[in-house]
Structure 1
Amino acid sequence: MTDLHEEYGDDAAVAAAGALAGADVVRALYGRPLDRVDKGAGDFATAADVEAERAVVAVIRAARPDDAVLGEEGGRQGAAGAARQWLVDPLCGTLNYAVGTMLVAVNVALRGGAAAVADPFGGEVFLTDGKTAWVRHEGSGDAPLTPSPATGLVDLNLDPPFPGAPRFRGADLLAHPGFATRFRPRVVSTTLAPAWVAAGRRAAYVTDGGDLRDSVHFAAGIALCRAAGCVVTGLDGAPLEQTDGGLVAAADEETHRALMAMIRG
C-alpha cells in the first residue's frame, strides 16, 4: 500500500492507495481478451472493472472497516447507517479501455472529504484531502494542482443519455459561434478530464447530468477541482448544492462566465 506524507491526512492516503490498487489491476489486464457484462443501452463492464473495484474495496475495507462503500459494479456494501461512505468508479472510460485506448481513470472519493483519481497509464495520481489538491508523479515528488485557462481546451462529455435536452446539448455548445473563437474542444470520454482542469491542462470541463456530487463517476473530480480553486457549478450557474443538474468546472471566473453565456444563449 502506498504511503503519502502524513500532513496530507489519513483519508487522502487511503483514497490514493485504493486508486493505485485499482490502477495496478487495470494495467495488468490491459490488452487481454476480457469478458463483458452488458448493462444495456450500449453500456458494459469488463472483468477489469470488476477486478479493479475489488482491489479498491479491499484497501478501503482494510483501512476503514466501519465505512460504507458505493461501487459502480458492486453497489452498496457495508453498514447501511454508516456515517461515512466511499464512492468508487474502478475504471472510468471502459469503452476506451476495451478498444485499446489508454484514456481511463480510477476514481475513489470519500463523500464530502478526501479523493483520488489515478491515471493507470500516465503514472500519476491526483489527490485532495478536501482542502488542498496535488498530483504525485510516479518516481518523483508531489506538486500542487494549479488551474489555468491558458490551454483554451474545453473537454465536453458527449456520451448519451442527454437528460438536459433540449435545454442543453453539448453538441449545441460546440456549434455556438463564440465557442471556436475562444476555445478548442476535446472529448476524452473519461473523468480524467476534471482532474486535468484542476491541473491546468484543460480550461474547463462541461457535462450534462443530474446531481453529480455523489456520483461514483464525478465525485472525485469535483472534489479535486473545488480543492484546487476551480469555479464549479451546475449548467445553470448555481452551486452544485442548488443546481438543476450538470457540471461546469472552469479554471477561473472569466472562463466560467464565457461558457455560461454560451450555454444560456
Structure 2
Amino acid sequence: MSISNGASDAQVAVTAAQAGAAVVRELYGRRLDHYAKSGGDFATEADLAAERAILDVLRAARPGDAVTAEESGRTGAAGAGRRWLVDPLCGTLNYAVQNMLVGVNVALRVGREVTAAATADPFSGEVFWTDGERARVRRDGDDAELSPSAGSALVDVNLDPPFPNAPRFHAVRLLADPGFAERFRPRVISSTLAVAWVAAGRRAAYVTDGHLADSVHFAAGIALCRAAGCTVTGLYGEPLHTGAGGLIAAADTGTHAALLESVKAGTSRSR
C-alpha cells in the first residue's frame, strides 16, 4: 500500500494499520504456523505478515524514524525522538481459533507524547484514528467524530497476565466488588480493540494492570481515548505511566470515580 511522503503522521498511521488489517483479514481461517513466545503466548504467520506490511508502509513514508514492533522488536536509534509502536495483531489467541475480536495498532511517539495513532478492526473495516487532537473513526472512506459514552455500562477488563501489582490489585477482585456489580457489566474480549471502543462509546471503560509506557498494545488506544476526551489515569487515579501503573480509561469522570472506588475496595480486601 503506497503513501506519499507528504502525508501527515496520522495519515501514515491509518494507512499502515489498514495494510496490516488487510493481511489479517486475508489470512483469517487458514491453517497457520504458530511460533512460541514466552509465558505460553505465541505468534502466527498472520502476526508476522501483518507486521511486515505495516513496516513497509512506515519505512517508505518515514524512513528515518525508529520502530518498536511486537514481533521484530526495536529498530533505529535507542534515543530516537520519533518512534512508531506497532502491534500487528492484538488478540492472536482469539484469531487462532477463528474469533474475529482483534485489532491492529499503530502509534507514533514524538518525544514523550503519542501524536498520531490508529487502531484498525480488520473485519468491520473501521479504523479509529487520532492526530493527537481529534479522534475519528473511518468507515468506507468517511470520517466521523468519536463520542465517548458510559450509557452501555459495559467495562472491559484485561484478565491476561502479567499482574505486576498483585496481590495489591488483581482484576478478578474488581469484578467481585459489589459496587462494581451494581453499576457495571464486565466484558473480556482479550484485545485492545476494546480500548478504542471506549473512545467510540461502545464501552463505558477499560481497566488493566501492567506497565504500559511505550506499549505496542496500548499506545494507540490510550491516544484515542485522550483525544476523544475520556478520563485516563493509572489504576489509582495517578497520572498515566506513574506510580503503580496500569490503566483506567473511562468515558466520563463519574464512571472513572466509580471504578476507582471499586479498585480501592479490592485493594482493601487484599490486606
Question: Would you say same fold, with TM above 0.5?
Answer: yes
RMSD value, Cα: 1.5
Q: Which amino acid aligns with 2:38?
A: G
1:79 Cα offset (Å)? 3.5
Q: Which amino acid aligns with 2:14?
A: A
SS in 2 for 1:113: strand
Alignment pair present for 1:180 and 2:181: yes
Aligned residues: 260
The residue aligned with 1:153 is 154
1:133 Cα offset (Å)? 0.4
CA change 1:176–1:81 in 2 (3 A) is: closer
Q: Work out the CA distance in 2 between the residues paired with 1:164 and 1:124.
A: 34
Q: Work out the CA distance in 1 between the residues paired with 2:82 and 2:39.
A: 32
CA change 1:197–1:3 in 2 (3 A) is: farther
1:242 Cα offset (Å)? 2.7
Q: Work out the CA distance in 1 between the residues paired with 2:158 and 2:25.
A: 24
Alignment pair present for 1:243 and 2:211: no
**From 122, 125, 149, the counterpart of 2:124:** 122
CA change 1:249–1:65 in 2 (3 A) is: same
Q: Please report the TM-score for the alignment, with normalisation by the length of structure 2.
A: 0.93
Q: Which amino acid aligns with 2:108?
A: L
Check conservation: 1:155, 1:188, Cα contact below 8 A: yes
Check conservation: 1:233, 1:243, Cα contact below 8 A: no
Q: Work out the CA distance in 2 between the residues paired with 1:61 and 1:134.
A: 25
Q: Work out the CA distance in 2 between the residues paired with 1:213 and 1:132.
A: 21
Q: Work out the CA distance in 1 between the residues paired with 2:152 and 2:115.
A: 29
Deviations 1:34-74 (A, max 9, x none): 11110022100001000100000000000000001100000
SS in 2 for 1:41: helix
Q: Which amino acid aligns with 1:172?
A: R
Q: Work out the CA distance in 2 between the residues paired with 1:208 and 1:129.
A: 26
Q: Work out the CA distance in 1 between the residues paired with 2:27 and 2:202.
A: 28
- Residue pairs, 1:88-167, within 5 angstroms: 88-111=86-109, 112-137=114-139, 139=140, 141-167=142-168
CA change 1:125–1:93 in 2 (3 A) is: same
Q: Work out the CA distance in 2 between the residues paired with 1:55 and 1:2.
A: 11
Deviations 1:123-181 (A, max 9, x none): 100000011100001x2511101101000000000012222111111110100011111
Q: Which amino acid aligns with 1:261?
A: E
SS in 1 for 2:256: helix
SS in 1 for 2:115: coil
SS in 1 for 2:37: strand
Deviates more, 1:213-222 or 1:239-248: 239-248
The answer for unaligned runs of 5 or more in structure 1 is none
CA change 1:224–1:29 in 2 (3 A) is: same
Alignment pair present for 1:193 and 2:191: no
**From 18, 25, 49, the counterpart of 2:23:** 25
Check conservation: 1:69, 1:78, Cα contact below 8 A: yes
- Residue pairs, 1:43-82, within 5 angstroms: 43-82=41-80
1:3 Cα offset (Å)? 7.2
The answer for unaligned runs of 5 or more in structure 2 is 266-271
Q: Work out the CA distance in 1 between the residues paired with 2:108 and 2:259.
A: 29
Q: Work out the CA distance in 2 between the residues paired with 1:241 and 1:90.
A: 23
Check conservation: 2:3, 2:57, Cα contact below 8 A: no
Check conservation: 2:234, 2:248, Cα contact below 8 A: yes
Q: Which amino acid aligns with 1:41?
A: G
The residue aligned with 1:37 is 35
SS in 2 for 1:114: strand
The residue aligned with 2:269 is none
Q: Which amino acid aligns with 1:55?
A: A
The residue aligned with 2:218 is 218
Q: Work out the CA distance in 2 between the residues paired with 1:98 and 1:65.
A: 32
Q: Work out the CA distance in 1 between the residues paired with 2:62 and 2:177.
A: 47
Q: Work out the CA distance in 2 between the residues paired with 1:255 and 1:83.
A: 35
Q: Which amino acid aligns with 1:174?
A: L
